Structure 1
Amino acid sequence: MDLVPKQVFLTKGVGRHKEQLCSFELALRNAGIAKCNIVCVSSIIPPGCRLIQRRAGLRLLKPGQITFVVMARRSCNEARLIASAIGCAMPIHGMHGFLAEHASVGEDCKRTGSYAEQLAATMLSSASGKVKNIKTSSIAQAARCRSGIWTTVVAAAVLLI
């Protein structure tokens, strides 16, 4: 059985509920991946794996499918700003790439996404010894929490076999 991903897509979501677990489920629904059996994995993008659009990736998912993801998640039930992001760094030629997850309190989408993207690029550069020829991207979700209501934000890279 070959479990090497051929495609990857980025997604994000937010959920709110009086129960923390339900807010997480709603965030997964908002991200479009709640129907899957999610397995969290580490941060490697195999050589030749293509980054595809979210919409195209979501169409490939089936209910109950075992789905490998790199996920950033933050939950809160106090008046705060929370965010989660996935950064992606892929080499132009040959080598494997990296995904980096980051979750924060008090940072907006732009700052959280930028940090995750920079982290992925740093991981790739340190592994390859080069800084050139790297394509980076990120996705981030932020939300302002309310006291007494659980808010969960997720960002995920979904790896498709």
Structure 2
Amino acid sequence: MLRVPRKFDLVVGRGEGTTPLNAFDAALLDAGIGNLNLVRVSSILPPGAQLSPGLQIAPGTPTPTAYGYITSSTPGQIIAASIGVGISSQDTYGVIMEFEGFCTKEEAETRVRQMVEEGFQMRNLSLKEVLVQGIDHKVEKIGSVFAAVIMDY
């Protein structure tokens, strides 16, 4: 049986590399999670999960992660990624949304906030709080941005 995560953190990063994968890896390292094994999950925050800024997870740990990213090889292009977490007023589960696109950090954060609000409306949940983090990057050669919620036990 799988355990239910009890802690979470929002992380963002940007990076450049000689290949798209190296750029993505650089963004993960910048976000502080480049040495974890990310296990991609969909967008529900478990009931009772608590925000734990600076969450420390041992290298190589399989880590439940909801994330968005974008990579570009067009020099001068602006790319952005953002992550949003909606916390329920009823202390039930939360909703995580991720966004990536060719825009600024501010535009990405606005869009992900709207997505969280819509996700709560669709579920008929009352929204207590929205946490948002975003990042943008002007591509030099091959660039990547990454935004995620990582979870731990």
For the aligned pair, the TM-score class normalised by the smaller chain equals over 0.9
Which of 125, 128, 134 is the aligned partner of 2:128? 134
Distance 1:121 1:157 in 2: 17
Match of 2:138 in 1: 144
1:1-161 aligned at under 5 Å gives the runs: 1-53=1-53, 55=54, 57=55, 59=56, 61-78=57-74, 79-105=76-102, 107-127=103-123, 129-130=124-125, 132-146=126-140, 149-161=141-153
Q: How many angstroms does 1:100 deviate by?
A: 0.4
Runs of 4+ off more than 2 Å: none
Structure 1 residues 26, 13: closer, same or farther in 2, change over 3 A? same
Amino acid corresponding to residue 113 of structure 1 in structure 2? E
Structure 2: which 5+ runs fail to align?
none
TM-score scaled by length of structure 2: 0.94
Is the CA contact (8 Å cut-off) linking 1:87 and 1:118 kept in structure 2? no
Q: How many angstroms does 1:2 deviate by?
A: 4.1
Distance 1:2 1:93 in 2: 25
SS at match of 2:134: strand
Distance 1:63 1:89 in 2: 28
**Bigger CA drift: 107-116 or 150-159?**
107-116
Structure 1: which 5+ runs fail to align?
none
Q: Deviations over 1:5-33 (max 9, x none)?
A: 10110000011012111111111000011
**RMSD of aligned alpha carbons:** 1.3
TM-score scaled by length of structure 1: 0.89
Q: How many angstroms does 1:37 deviate by?
A: 0.7
Aligned length: 152
